Structure 1
Amino acid sequence: MRYHVAGSGPVCVAHSGGPGIEWEYLRAPLLEQHLTMVYVEVVGTGESGRLADARDYTMPTYTRFLHAVVTDLGLPQVALLGHSHGGFVVQQYALEHPDLVSALVLYDTSPVTGEEFWTSALTKLQEFADAHKAEHPEVETYAAKLSSPIGEFDDDGATDVLRTIMPAYVADYWGREAEFAPLRQAIRITAAPSRGEGPPFDVREQLPSITAPTSVLVGDRDFICGTRWADMMHSGIPGSRLVVFPNTGHLGHVEVPVEFAEAVVKFVGSS
């Protein structure tokens, strides 16, 4: 396992999404001005190790490898920030290792996946396509691409799918294309982690057992991990805080970086 350290201040370990999206997209320079950010190079991606059997990319695997990073840091407690699939991992970790988590930031994520989750995401993605197909007819392919079994692609094919549908992940891609196009060209995903086998993620009944101070961050126009799921986590985790970023999609740290950094730094610094 590799991880990357930048900045100074209280330690915050950041786990990227996917599964399999390489960590660089989640880098947040404004956070590094106030926090020591530890970006996990998730198992199976980048220069971290690969599993011998791709079926083993499961939640127990991700939490075990996250624990290896936290242990290696040698600190009594750390803050955890999980984005999207990374939010699944840090929720599970907070349930398994409550004594090691000083603060929990659940960023554009959900307490559950499965059929209902994906049906909702595809419905909202189709609404996005309907709204933009007149000017950008290629969006009509987005729902089919999101439904593609990423694990059947090689890394380049999986990355092409991610880059193709990336405009749906932000609130105003074409209005701010000069800002977002470099990220679209740089973002990469490793296909193997999508081949993991296991039950759908679901910690809804366990949310009341999360004891770490928790902040739930969500963009109000996030089609995949939007306010429905954020409200579910907020109502389920005792004492949690909810921050909704207006006119923002799935990548608030890029779309509204100042507001995102203020929300995270204020919360982690006070926890």
Structure 2
Amino acid sequence: MWRDMAPDQTVRIAVGEYEVVAYSFGTGDEVVFCLNGGPGLPCDYLRDAHSCLIDQGYRVVAFDQLGTGASSRPADPALWTISRYVEETETVRKALGLGKVHLLGHSWGGWLAIEYALAYPDALKTLILEDTAADLPLLARELERLRSALGSETVAMMLAHEAAGTLDHPEYQAAITVLNYRHVCRLQEWPAPLNRSLGDWNMGPYGTMQGPNEFLYIGNLKDWDRSGDLHRITVPSLITVGLHDEITPVCAYQMKRGLPDAVLHVFQNSSHMPFYEEPAAYYPALLDFLAKHSG
């Protein structure tokens, strides 16, 4: 289970005219390369939830994506595209000499992982897609379903604020808070690494690519859909999802149907963060998959 630990290496890597900061734990030959969610979040929450895999002999690598954490923070919206982040990911993998990796993408990091897998299939041993989707129009429909559970009056209020652009109004924010505690993390106290990431959120990449919050997708990725290309990803794949996840089991099952060699785990007592919400079920599922496809 997760615990705070210092990385064995912290490396600054040139990405064009900027730099990103990568963190490496352990020295194993099998590398778990983590792509965190957001966009715009530092990698703390995902890095710190998986660095403990060194106990089983794995090397774990994560990095603060451009615009986040200790990496450079340019303000140019033209930088916030999934294709640029794919090339950034490949730059980091090559700079660290990681070879073939177990690529683990969570949430937005899963969309990035799918794009990366399509662009650089020879760089992967396996693909691990956590609490993510391959079809954002499908996800948008699922989010509408989750919002509707708040009741018609609350939905009408939210739509009115979204139309007026008054998303900072307390009643709108109250509705988002309820949704976050239902579908992002169901723990009463959120773990310190998650709070660290959320406390340093760069809304520039997030607003440009996704939108103003987790339940309104209006950014440049809103029409992104790779569900029809999943058949091209032939490495063994693990899909994980919480039963109460904001990126719902419907999205996970669509990926399961599309990937040629995939297994799906649904965590019954989790939402978007099974590694924190349900670690006793999460880690055995992940480690069993990795063990089967290592060596």
TM class, shorter-length: 0.7 to 0.9
Q: Is the 8 A contact 1:8 1:33 kept in 2?
A: no
Is 1:79 paired with 2:102? yes
- In the TM superposition, what are the counterparts of 1:21-100 in structure 2 within 5 Å? 21-26=41-46, 27-29=48-50, 30-34=52-56, 35-100=58-123
Question: What letter corresponds to residue 121 of structure 1 in structure 2?
Answer: L
Q: Is the 8 A contact 2:33 2:61 kept in 1?
A: yes
**Residue 136 of structure 2: SS of its match in structure 1?**
coil
Shift, 1:111, TM fit: 0.3
- Alignment partners' CA distance in 1, 2:284 and 2:115: 25
Shift, 1:76, TM fit: 2.5
Shift, 1:61, TM fit: 1.1
**Residue 180 of structure 1: SS of its match in structure 2?**
coil
What is the TM-score when the length of structure 1 is the normalising length? 0.80
**Residue 215 of structure 1: SS of its match in structure 2?**
strand
What is the TM-score when the length of structure 2 is the normalising length? 0.74
* Candidates 190, 206, 217, aligned match of 1:180: 190
- Alignment partners' CA distance in 2, 1:161 and 1:68: 40
In structure 2, relative to structure 1, the CA distance for the partners of 1:44 and 1:165 (3 Å cut) is farther
Residue 202 of structure 2 aligns with which residue? Answer: 190
Residue 156 of structure 1 aligns with which residue? Answer: none
Shift, 1:73, TM fit: 1.9
- Alignment partners' CA distance in 2, 1:112 and 1:98: 20
Q: Which whole-Å deviations, capped at 9, do the CAs of 1:210-266 have from their partners, x for residues lacking one?
A: 0221001111111x2111010010110001111111121010010112321212222
Mind listing any 5+ residue stretches in structure 1 that lack a counterpart?
Answer: 131-139, 154-159
Shift, 1:203, TM fit: 0.6
Question: What letter corresponds to residue 28 of structure 1 in structure 2?
Answer: A
- Alignment partners' CA distance in 1, 2:175 and 2:89: 27
Is 1:246 paired with 2:268? yes
Shift, 1:50, TM fit: 2.8
Residue 169 of structure 1 aligns with which residue? Answer: 183
Shift, 1:40, TM fit: 1.8
Q: Choose between structure 1 and 2: higher helix proportion.
A: 1
- Alignment partners' CA distance in 2, 1:41 and 1:250: 20
Residue 24 of structure 2 aligns with which residue? Answer: 5
The alignment yields a C-alpha RMSD, in angstroms, of 3.1
Question: What letter corresponds to residue 66 of structure 2 in structure 1?
Answer: V
- Alignment partners' CA distance in 2, 1:16 and 1:239: 23
- Alignment partners' CA distance in 1, 2:95 and 2:147: 40
Mind listing any 5+ residue stretches in structure 2 that lack a counterpart?
Answer: 1-19, 168-173, 210-218
Q: Is the 8 A contact 1:94 1:210 kept in 2?
A: yes
After TM superposition, the structure 1 stretch with the greater mean CA deviation from structure 2, 29-38 or 237-246, is 29-38
Aligned residues: 248
In structure 2, relative to structure 1, the CA distance for the partners of 1:164 and 1:245 (3 Å cut) is closer
- Alignment partners' CA distance in 1, 2:37 and 2:175: 15
- What percent identity do the matched residue pairs reach? 27
Q: Which whole-Å deviations, capped at 9, do the CAs of 1:45-66 have from their partners, x for residues lacking one?
A: 0111234521331110111111
In structure 2, relative to structure 1, the CA distance for the partners of 1:169 and 1:32 (3 Å cut) is farther
- Alignment partners' CA distance in 2, 1:183 and 1:75: 25
Question: What letter corresponds to residue 275 of structure 2 in structure 1?
Answer: H
- Alignment partners' CA distance in 2, 1:56 and 1:23: 19
- Alignment partners' CA distance in 1, 2:184 and 2:79: 31
Is 1:104 paired with 2:127? yes
**Residue 28 of structure 1: SS of its match in structure 2?**
helix
Shift, 1:120, TM fit: 1.8
Q: Which whole-Å deviations, capped at 9, do the CAs of 1:191-220 have from their partners, x for residues lacking one?
A: 111324645221111000002210011111
